[in-house]
Structure 1
């Protein structure tokens, strides 16, 4: 059986709910990415401005939690919120740690109904990995997520 890791960053808690549901479906180890509490505020628009400044300057936030040895996993499922149709900056920091990863990666993400080019942005950040199609959900979708996540997971294997 393949070794699977779920890694997620959740600004509002929605992606964390999706990650927990995905863990129930897969039985995989789960790591929640964290950044310093002062990195982002509680206002969505101010957070978007900070993230855009981080992208423009190339100064992505540092992760504050430890990670397992990523090379021990055949598949890594990476979750995060969609920010301005892009991968959130904490998830970008994590994806930078996968620059030499040769396994399979698949994105899962939460959005307000407009993911835009999220998956294309995600794939562009991992040129050496095998990136599978992802799955996105809104907070409303999460109320009935198990069947959708199971179907997606079976296709990802």
Structure 2
């Protein structure tokens, strides 16, 4: 039997990927890593922010290179990504645009450098039909204690 939760994440630097792995250990959920074509984003954080800003301005979001998972088996989507300029990273945005028929719970988890800005408001606006619930943000330095925090956050979905 498939898990009732799916973790979907994009990680630029590896920090969000670590949070997703830890979240999978806590939840037992299935997991999918979102990927884009190599070279889409430069290795420099500030240059990547500029590329993301250009993508948002033009409306040309990056194409995901992995297949869209079959969401019919899941009641909860835990969607993770880095905060870019206070907004949802463009690869995560590309994924969220594909959720046209998903009607379950959609919760963000994200990593930032200390200021998530309007990330959750931005995320919520991108969830077309699902039920948005408050997410969980962490900085890279918080990951050492994240399993305890993740367990507490996951309990919110166990009703």
Same fold (TM over 0.5): yes
Q: Counterpart of 2:83? A: 82
| Structure 2 CA distance for aligned equivalents of residues 2 and 102 of structure 1 | 16
- Give TM-score, length-normalised by structure 2: 0.96
- Give TM-score, length-normalised by structure 1: 0.97
| Structure 1: stretches of 5+ with no match in the other structure | none
Q: Does the aligned pair in 1 maintain the 2:82–2:88 contact within 8 Å? A: yes
Q: Counterpart of 2:37? A: 36
1:81 deviation in Å?
0.1
Q: Does the aligned pair in 2 maintain the 1:106–1:156 contact within 8 Å? A: no
Q: Counterpart of 1:11? A: 12
1:49 has 2:43 as partner: no
RMSD (Å) for aligned C-alpha atoms: 1.2
Aligned pair count?
157
| Structure 2 CA distance for aligned equivalents of residues 97 and 73 of structure 1 | 15
| Structure 2: stretches of 5+ with no match in the other structure | none
Deviation beyond 4 Å, 4+ runs, structure 1: none
Q: Counterpart of 2:124? A: 123
- SS of 1:140's partner is helix
